[in-house]
Structure 1
Amino acid sequence: MFYLSGAFQSAHDALSDLLQIQFSSPPASKPVVYLLITDASLIEADEVDGISWPWPRSAYAEAVRFLKNAGASEIVFDMIFTERSVHGLEDDTGFGNAIEDAGVILAKLSSNRQSSMSEKAAENNRLITERFALHVEGADEKMFHDTPYLRAPVSELTNHAKGLGDVKFVQDSDGVGRRIPLLVRSGNRYHPSLSLAAAASILNITSYQMEGSDLLLSGPSVQRRIPLDSEGMARPLYFGDSSIYDKYLLLRVIKSQIRMDEGDAPYYDPALFKDKVVIIGADATELKDFRPNPFNKANDPGAHYHGTAIHNILESGFLVSRYEAVYVLPILFLTSMLLAFVAAKYRATTGFSFTFLLLLLVNGVAVYLFKHHGMLIDMAATSVNLIGCFILATGSNYMVEARQRHFVTSAFGQYLSPDVVKALVDNPERLLLGGEVRTMTAFFSDIAGFSTISEKLTPEELVSLLNEYLTEMCDIIGKYHGTVDKFEGDAIMAFWGAPIYRDDHAHLALLASLEMQQRLEELRGKWAAEGKDQLYVRMGINSGLMLVGNMGSRTRMNYTIMGDAVNLASRLEAANKFYGTHLMISQKTKVLAGDQFTVRELDAIQVVGKKKPVHVYELLGKKGDVAENRLAATLLFEEGLTCYRKGDFVSAKTNFTAVFDQVPGDPPAIEFLRRIEALDKTESQGDWNGVFKADSK
């Protein structure tokens, strides 16, 4: 059956997120505190304190000492010290002593892949983590996936730790961490997660037992029952994103201890950490420890994944899911039979009302069970089933809709792109004049020197060449879900992100532009063999807020885009001629497209009609596809650009000249060398900022 295929899992995930976001009550207490390494901390440590990453472990020892003296209930590191300190063995030894003195819980990572780990290292990790393994009564090995390889902290640290917990992150199909493995099986050993190790230490848990699908934790005066799913995962209740807990800077805690040793006041009052579970982790972009959760699906620190689970264990807050077919299929069957009876006996309006009431009842029960019992039941499949049965029973509206679709397709299919037609068919109200503002990506292209080429061709030859060129380019734009707006002679205007919005519009635009340039290179070989002129095309791409919709009169409309961001894309296309490049993108597009492309920063330019300069880049290719000499030339060029902006023209000239060793005759390097030669000797003084002012469009 369709439900058994798992087709509703994504909907279950989305609805469980919605329930937590809308109906989770603020926690009565907040036992967790985060100490984070942020981007600002890395910069401060490097530029102010002269300490580059990785930090010496003696610094962590200072933080541990501060937290111990402050009375923290547990100190937990969400960091894996798998390599020896670059500052020497004494650095590890000192940190190990601080760990033992304060009773610190460290992190390890399990994996089902050996990767680059040697057999000797794997065996060593197994041995030094042996003392942290748990005896779990009644455990079924089939319930827990085997992860035989462990990456543990170096022995100088592991041997001194009070506890060791696994930091394996389990993500659903959309990348969000909704479940956590509290027990991690490695062969016939069970290891606690970082959250379980910390919570068990606080609660003084002495017994671990599986009762059915529940994990029972017991101690002298406490017991916790945690429901697990069929894969041995617990589903914690998130109270919010990491901002619900207090967050402090690890660097300031380190400095606080140093200041106190010197007799000065600390940055933080030690009382802030008294009786708190302090999780030390990373929130810096460079360290890439982001773990999406229902409240923040982008950039929440991994510490929150473990902190939430600790909070749930301490307060018995885990969710119980009832998405299994044994619970859902009987409900689907009963509601289908009930709706079929009502539809056969009563009019469509009654069927609609009855369906609506059933939807309210099902979803109301789901909300009630979540709020008062922490239980998740199916809403998605039941709602879809109710709606589907109603549609099947009252299908007369289908004919009206079909006629409307036929009208729109016939009226507009001849002169609008298929994507636009589909959007109009799905929403005929889009035929009204006007539009909406959304973030999109605009594209402009123009053939360099086309006027000269066209003068040498007959009208028939010109039309044939243009048709071939435009067809090839438009096919590629369509392949990557772009919309061709219009042609202006040989120029193409297109956009991504409408009428069907996609988050990856910038990424798709760059993929399309690279493929267009590649196809042009192939076509130039073909045209050369035919004795035709070669076409070189300049392209400009920019992302930003744009107005998109039907513009024009009530009798003649054009689905198009407008706005400053659109104009900038056009300016970037024209700006290629200053640098001899063919594919220029803006900084906004670079950021939105992600890190899968290799670019070269060209300049900061002030285009015509703008007062604020924009940073522009040359798109070189996809990551891994750019030749080594091009990458080396890019580094030299960007170093030269940095010197140029500082007014250090001698160093800039040296770097730009060195570019030619990698890419002879590199046009952008030639342009900057020309500028340097043309500069007045006093240009480096005063308000010099290296911004290029384009004096033409």
Structure 2
Amino acid sequence: MKLKDVRFRLRGDIEPDKRIVIVAIDSKSIDRLGRWPWDRKIIAKLIENLKEVRVIALDIVFSEPSNAYSDKLLSYAVNKNNVVTGYYFRDEETKIHPQSYLNLMHSKIKIVKILEDVKILPVKEFPYAELNIPLIKAQAGFFNIFPDDDGVYRKINLLVLYNGELYPHLSLKTLEKFKNSPLIVGITNYGIKGLWVGNELIPVDESGRLTINYYGKGGSFQTVSAVDIINGNLKLSSDNIVFIGATEMGISDIRNTPFDPVMPGVEISATVLSNILKQQYLIHNAWVTLLDIAFIAIPVLLLCLFLTKASKTLISLFIFSGITFLTYLSNFFIFKAYFLDLSIIYPFISLSICYLASEAYRNLIIEKKSKFIKKAFSSYIAPELVEIIIKNPDKLRLGGEKRIITVMFSDIRNFTTISESLNPEQLVTLLNNYLDPMTKIVLKHKGMLDKYIGDAIMAVYNAPVDLKEHAREAVLTALEMLKELKSLNEKFAMMKFPQIGIGIGINTGEAITGNMGTEKRFDYTAIGDTVNLASRLEGLNKFYGTKIIISESTFNGIVNKEQIFIRELDLIRVKGKKEPVKIYEVMEEDSPLISVVKDFEKALHLYRNCMFKEALKIFTYIHEEFSDQVSSIYEERCKDYILNPPPSDWDRVYTAREK
């Protein structure tokens, strides 16, 4: 796209249709008549003084009533003269007066030819519109313009869907008024087949968009100050088409175009109308496609021919640069002379691929080594790590570093019992069917598969490469694993295998990460208390009857908790650690317990404030209604503390007796 923008600037200015004039609400008019918006009787006078011209297009919307007298004067001037009013579509909800909507209905595309069965129309659609006040009943066109992804306005949507109807852009509605011919839209199963004004075809794409052929920077059209028209100092001819809009920098809608980063939006509408009137379209039809193919194939063939003669990389680079430059130069001259919108990127891509393939051939031995490393490591190491190893083989040396990571442990429940019910072949099949999708989920969320420990999986996030939301990615991994497990159990049922459940523990903290082992055999792994605690948390799922337990550090590390449902479980001292840890349960999105999280938190607050009888009632309710094992645990604790109150220095911490 940027290369096409350069092509515009190299071409230079061309002349637009001289009949189109922009009446500008500019700095001169603002200085003489006061700050914008003006009293509507001033706009009414402006329109009255332009009544001799062919069409007046207003790149302005009057959506809110002002004083009744001015509104009446404006509506009279608009409705009796040859005026096309403006409005715009929006995503935010807005109230529409019923009469304003009825007025808008008169401006829809009335002739729509459906040529084939249509299921989806790929035209931009909006749920809401900002319309003119009910008194203004003239024909109208929307003046929205939508940029490309990089913020540059290269195409314009001439059609928009609203409430199941097609509506035209301001420039298109102005053309209809000027030609006094109806707009006709042809629709086929892939989208818009054609857009006509009378018998004249406008070459839009399937979404109703037209590529804009800009004439130059802002000011390419004849532009006059609104104040000169209002004061009668200047008159326009009856052949003129007038666009009224803001160009003063403080109030205008400035747009970034290939020619000008600060072009007023009203001038873009004028440009589109001029393109249509002069038929100066940027052409991209079947013949242009054939020419595109030639521009892709011929330079590549020439490059291949010359590269076979080049023995050094520097010479190859010079040949590649020369052919690329000549290709762009040819493309530019065809664009300038015939307005053919040839592709630039595809010839460049094909030339680049050819050049890179040639250079890759020179480095075949290095490539073979890279493939070996990828094959050796990609099945169990995150793709980012594989790339680091390929680029920096020294990473394979022994050593470690301290870094903040998130560690996830998952384990199959009652695996010993399951293994005893299956023969060795069946057990291997079950494990392979389980470990394969679970590993893919880890890698999908940019985790590093550290190791398999029998039926258990250990994964590390934020090592060896940085991962911004590593705590969130680990939790999303756990949730997706539970979701995948449901599908797996359906598969296991068909295979006559036992159903399996898993527990997952996640912890975030500082650990030593790196290659551990000997010079001949080592693994990239993580060690430290952070890893040990994650393992302990996984085991606690058996005690609490939960599936996913995370530590407080992981909870705090999840910056974006959207669509993640979490409740605090306990303040616990795990085996082997003196300091207590606050732990949380991550619940699946379909868990019925989500509805009573607030009740559970209230009961937990009462419990920690030694209000055991009050807490007992809530815990009992949640336990009985939802079969919640956590509430059952607290229920028993409350009963115990009611009979045997805790000491005054009670620290509210539960000490786990098992790993």
TM-score (norm 1): 0.49
Preserved CA contact (<8 Å) 2:155 2:211: yes
Counterparts in 2 of 1:654 and 1:356: CA distance versus 1, 3 Å: farther
Shift of 1:311: 7.9
Shift of 1:342: 1.9
Query: Match of 2:544?
Result: 579
Query: Match of 1:397?
Result: 362
Counterparts in 2 of 1:463 and 1:159: CA distance versus 1, 3 Å: farther
Using the alignment, how far apart are the partners of 1:644 and 1:68 within structure 2? 62
Letter in 2 for 1:635: S
SS of aligned partner of 1:616: strand
Shift of 1:385: 1.4
Shift of 1:476: 2.1
SS of aligned partner of 1:129: helix
Query: Match of 2:599?
Result: 639
Using the alignment, how far apart are the partners of 2:621 and 2:323 within structure 1? 73
Counterparts in 2 of 1:397 and 1:692: CA distance versus 1, 3 Å: farther
Shift of 1:538: 1.6
Shift of 1:659: 2.8
Aligned pair count? 510
Preserved CA contact (<8 Å) 2:303 2:323: no
Letter in 2 for 1:538: G
Aligned with residue 183 of structure 1, among 145, 148, 159: 159
Aligned with residue 585 of structure 2, among 617, 621, 631: 617
SS of aligned partner of 1:493: strand
Preserved CA contact (<8 Å) 1:76 1:277: no
Aligned with residue 459 of structure 2, among 494, 497, 500: 494
Query: Match of 2:481?
Result: 512
Letter in 2 for 1:343: L
Query: Match of 1:220?
Result: none
Using the alignment, how far apart are the partners of 2:329 and 2:581 within structure 1? 54
* Bigger mean CA deviation after superposition, 439-448 or 497-506: 497-506
Query: Match of 1:429?
Result: 393
SS of aligned partner of 1:473: helix
Deviations 1:157-206 (A, max 9, x none): 867799977699989999x999652433789986356xx59x999xx998
2:567 corresponds to 1:601: yes
Counterparts in 2 of 1:127 and 1:278: CA distance versus 1, 3 Å: same
Query: Match of 2:53?
Result: none
Using the alignment, how far apart are the partners of 1:278 and 1:659 within structure 2? 57
Query: Match of 2:439?
Result: 478
The unaligned stretches of length 5 or more in structure 2 are 8-24, 26-35, 44-58, 76-84, 92-97, 184-192, 196-201, 214-247, 257-261, 276-280
Letter in 2 for 1:333: A
Using the alignment, how far apart are the partners of 2:573 and 2:66 within structure 1? 55
SS of aligned partner of 2:209: coil
Query: Match of 1:276?
Result: 251
What pairs with 1:663-682 in structure 2 (closer than 5 Å)?
663=626, 665-674=627-636, 676-677=638-639
Deviations 1:28-62 (A, max 9, x none): xxx9xxxxxxxxxxxxxxxxxxxxxxxxxxxxxxx
TM-score (norm 2): 0.52
Shift of 1:351: 1.9
Preserved CA contact (<8 Å) 2:612 2:638: yes
Counterparts in 2 of 1:653 and 1:518: CA distance versus 1, 3 Å: farther
Using the alignment, how far apart are the partners of 2:531 and 2:140 within structure 1? 54
Using the alignment, how far apart are the partners of 1:275 and 1:590 within structure 2? 42
Counterparts in 2 of 1:430 and 1:160: CA distance versus 1, 3 Å: farther
Using the alignment, how far apart are the partners of 1:493 and 1:69 within structure 2? 70
The unaligned stretches of length 5 or more in structure 1 are 1-11, 20-30, 32-65, 78-92, 111-122, 216-225, 238-272, 280-292, 295-306
Using the alignment, how far apart are the partners of 1:99 and 1:547 within structure 2? 75
Preserved CA contact (<8 Å) 1:603 1:691: no
Letter in 1 for 2:167: H
Preserved CA contact (<8 Å) 1:419 1:500: no
Query: Match of 1:325?
Result: 289
Shift of 1:546: 8.8
Give identity over the alignment, percent.
Answer: 20
Preserved CA contact (<8 Å) 1:637 1:655: no
Query: Match of 1:8?
Result: none
What pairs with 1:385-464 in structure 2 (closer than 5 Å)?
385-391=350-356, 393=358, 396-397=361-362, 399-401=364-366, 403-405=368-370, 407-408=372-373, 412=376, 423=387, 427=391, 429=393, 431-433=395-397, 442-447=407-412
Counterparts in 2 of 1:398 and 1:512: CA distance versus 1, 3 Å: farther
Preserved CA contact (<8 Å) 1:600 1:620: no
Counterparts in 2 of 1:157 and 1:343: CA distance versus 1, 3 Å: same
Preserved CA contact (<8 Å) 1:339 1:351: no
SS of aligned partner of 2:157: coil
Preserved CA contact (<8 Å) 1:423 1:499: no
Counterparts in 2 of 1:162 and 1:576: CA distance versus 1, 3 Å: farther
Using the alignment, how far apart are the partners of 1:415 and 1:146 within structure 2? 40
Preserved CA contact (<8 Å) 1:538 1:581: yes
Shift of 1:365: 11
What pairs with 1:679-690 in structure 2 (closer than 5 Å)?
none
2:97 corresponds to 1:129: no
* Bigger mean CA deviation after superposition, 560-569 or 68-77: 68-77
